[in-house]
Chain A
Amino acid sequence: MSGLFTALLGAAAQGVLWGIMVLGVYITYKLLDIADLTVDGSFALGGCVCAVMILNFHMDPVAAIVVSALAGVLAGAVTGLLHTLFEIPAILAGILTQIGLWSVNLRIMGGKSNNPLLQEETLISRLVGRTGSKTVETASPLVQKLGLTQSQASLVIGIIIAILMVAALYWFFGTEIGSAQRATGNNENMIRALGVNTKMTKLLALMLSNGLVGLSGALVCQSQKYADVGMGTGAIVIGLAAIVIGEVLLGRFRHFAWKLSSAVIGSVVYFLIRALVLQMGMDPNDMKLLSAIIVALALCVPVAVNKWKLKKAYSEEGGED
């Protein structure tokens, strides 16, 4: 039983860290109504940049996270410019950036597809107070006393950063610029008629979104102690699945702070489900299929239900008012 508990705790930690990425997807997919496929590339970019910053440039892990987030912002800007300035459809613009980033990420990692951080200090290892971790001897008495495991430390860091990000986004989308962003997703023609440059709002949204994705990639890299060029593969589907799960579970809460939180909570639930089915003996390679099915079902069910209702409402005899 404790094995399962450990697995679930690890999954929850992963879920929160990936949840930051889901917040990014939420901005583009839900608020701006753009399906941005840059995410797979910018998530790996965040991880790769973070690993290289720590390994090669011996950067402080927190600074490495900031640089990774900025790298994500840059990736978002590329997609954004392709989409707004050159009017390439958003999906295609995202795919182009994503494909390009694969090579960029390999370049960043010096041609290696995987860079381990086993011996390096990370934001998470700083909180780990168990023997066996390299930093435990040098850790502060408080950390030693807490004696957190890697998973627990990841969870704590993840929750703190997730709360900070939800609060920051809640603030931002309440400001004048943020309101214009939401309005762009709602009715682009209207907000342009009210004097907003919608190209700028979309560009900004894509940059912000991918900044969060890069940040998440960096955190996951520090938590799992390696970066891999393939670590972002399927991230967009995980993001959409998490949003769908969050909506199903917490959709009745209308407050915007809840909507943002539901993205992170959805992510946690997604990774818990994943851990459970893996424990039950599912082949990990089938996980991407399962994610795709979850998203496809979530998108299909409302349409199918509506069609069924329409069909059922018809009667040849003529109904009543």
Chain B
Amino acid sequence: MLTLTNVRKTFNKGTINEKKALKGIDLHLNPGDFVTIIGGNGAGKSTMLNMIAGVYPIDSGKIVIDGINISRDPEYKRAKYIGRVFQDPMMGTAAGMEIQENLALAFRRGQKRGLGWGIKSEEKEFYYDALSRLGLGLQGRMTSKVGLLSGGQRQALTLLMATLRQPKLLLLDEHTAALDPKTARKVLDLTQEIVDNQKLTALMVTHNMNDAIQIGNRLIMMHDGKIIYDVAGDAKKTLQVPDLLQKFEEASGEKFANDRMMLAK
């Protein structure tokens, strides 16, 4: 479904701030894979997701989705295949527009936009049902501006928007990190539900090791721009947090130093 071949990225090349963010990433995802990604600060987790989404161009390597080489496509073209949810709840929705307008924009992801009406009346019923499934009561507020919603509601809405038109690949970049624990749990449950129902292929960056172990069928650990550990299936199911810490030390030769990850329950 998704194949990364020797993907490299260096920021600020040739300057004192040079940062080799990705040092040759090779990754292959099968259809239906739900992969969680963990790693310390600056490991390249978000960079990898941004490279796949096309936020910045890659320096070298190849990114192929479902047989289509998207390595050099601009971000807006890749959007046809990719649904995204960001860490910042403000980033995934247009605050000044109505809930239903946001959904209508998302429903046209990867479609040709013309001079037809931006939101057709028959769509509204579909949005109503989709919002009802979130269980947040948003279906009764379809004409409210998104700016009036809480962070958790906005994140749930972003998740719905990313999957409203089924993506070939769903990218979740620490999408629960800015939420309180209870809301984070709710959004995570929704994520699992949507991914299961639509049988999506997904990549999820998280700083919560327990989540990383419990969710999805595969886990990868990144360090210093490389994938240092990749585990799937039964081996992943039986993982414990101490195992992960040990794996990290073995693979990187360093102590795992990330307070946020260590403290996350």
| A187 CB contact (under 8 Å) in B74, B94, B108, B113 | B94
| Bound CA span A271–B52, Å | 53
In the complex, number of A-B residue pairs with CB atoms less than 8 Å apart: 79
Q: In the complex, which residues of chain B have a beta carbon less than 8 angstroms from the beta carbon of A179?
A: 97, 101, 104-105, 118-119
For the complex, is B156 an interface residue (Cβ under 8 Å from A)?
no
Stretch of B12-20, B75-83, B256-264 that contacts chain A: B75-83
- Please state if B113 and A182 are interface contacts (CB–CB under 8 Å): no
- Please state if A175 and B96 are interface contacts (CB–CB under 8 Å): no
A-B contact pairs, 28 of them (CB 8 A): A175-B117, A176-B108, A176-B116, A176-B118, A178-B118, A179-B119, A183-B94, A186-B94, A186-B97, A187-B91, A187-B95, A190-B93, A191-B94, A191-B105, A192-B76, A194-B79, A194-B105, A194-B106, A194-B108, A194-B109, A194-B161, A195-B76, A195-B77, A195-B108, A195-B109, A195-B111, A196-B76, A197-B74
- 1/0 per residue, CB under 8 A from A, across B59-86: the answer is 0000000000000001111011000101
| Closest CB pairs A-B (n = 5) | A179-B118, A195-B79, A186-B94, A176-B113, A187-B94
Contacts A183-B97, A197-B76 given; does A175 touch B106 at CB 8 Å: no
- 1/0 per residue, CB under 8 A from A, across B152-194: the answer is 0000000001000000000000000000000000000000000
For the complex, is B92 an interface residue (Cβ under 8 Å from A)?
yes
| Bound CA span A176–B92, Å | 19
Q: In the complex, which residues of chain A have a beta carbon less than 8 angstroms from the beta carbon of B75?
A: 192-193
- Please state if A193 and B115 are interface contacts (CB–CB under 8 Å): no
Q: In the complex, which residues of chain A have a beta carbon less than 8 angstroms from the beta carbon of B91?
A: 187, 189-190
For the complex, is B53 an interface residue (Cβ under 8 Å from A)?
yes
B246 to chain A, nearest CB (A): 37
Q: In the complex, which residues of chain B have a beta carbon less than 8 angstroms from the beta carbon of A190?
A: 91-94
Q: In the complex, which residues of chain A have a beta carbon less than 8 angstroms from the beta carbon of B161?
A: 194
| Bound CA span A172–B116, Å | 9
Q: In the complex, which residues of chain B have a beta carbon less than 8 angstroms from the beta carbon of A174?
A: 117-118
| Bound CA span A177–B115, Å | 6
For the complex, is A242 an interface residue (Cβ under 8 Å from B)?
no
Question: Residues of A at under 8 Å CB distance from B?
Answer: 172, 174-180, 182-183, 185-187, 189-198
Q: In the complex, which residues of chain A have a beta carbon less than 8 angstroms from the beta carbon of B96?
A: 182, 185-186
For the complex, is B110 an interface residue (Cβ under 8 Å from A)?
yes
For the complex, is B114 an interface residue (Cβ under 8 Å from A)?
yes
CB nearest to B53 among chain A residues: A193
CB nearest to A254 among chain B residues: B145
Instruction: Name, among B86, B94, B106, B115, the residue most crowded by chain A CB atoms within 10 Å (CB to CB).
Output: B94
| Bound CA span A190–B113, Å | 16
- Please state if A175 and B115 are interface contacts (CB–CB under 8 Å): yes
Instruction: Name, among A179, A187, A195, the residue most crowded by chain B CB atoms within 10 Å (CB to CB).
Output: A195
| Bound CA span A263–B114, Å | 27
Q: In the complex, which residues of chain A have a beta carbon less than 8 angstroms from the beta carbon of B108?
A: 176, 194-195
| Bound CA span A191–B117, Å | 17
CB nearest to B120 among chain A residues: A176
- 1/0 per residue, CB under 8 A from A, across B135-162: the answer is 0000000000000000000000000010
Q: In the complex, which residues of chain B have a beta carbon less than 8 angstroms from the beta carbon of A193?
A: 53, 75, 79, 84, 92
| Bound CA span A191–B101, Å | 12
9 additional A-B pairs beyond A193-B79, A197-B74, beta carbons within 8 Å, are A176-B113, A183-B94, A183-B105, A186-B97, A187-B95, A189-B86, A191-B94, A195-B108, A198-B76
Q: In the complex, which residues of chain B have a beta carbon less than 8 angstroms from the beta carbon of A175?
A: 114-118
Q: In the complex, which residues of chain B have a beta carbon less than 8 angstroms from the beta carbon of A194?
A: 79, 105-106, 108-109, 161
| Bound CA span A191–B91, Å | 10
A158 to chain B, nearest CB (A): 27
| Bound CA span A183–B101, Å | 9
Contacts A176-B118, A192-B76, A195-B76 given; does A187 touch B101 at CB 8 Å: no
- Please state if B80 and A195 are interface contacts (CB–CB under 8 Å): yes
| Bound CA span A180–B76, Å | 12
| Bound CA span A194–B113, Å | 11
B20 to chain A, nearest CB (A): 25
| Bound CA span A153–B32, Å | 68
Q: In the complex, which residues of chain A have a beta carbon less than 8 angstroms from the beta carbon of B74?
A: 197
A85 to chain B, nearest CB (A): 13
Q: In the complex, which residues of chain B have a beta carbon less than 8 angstroms from the beta carbon of A172?
A: 115
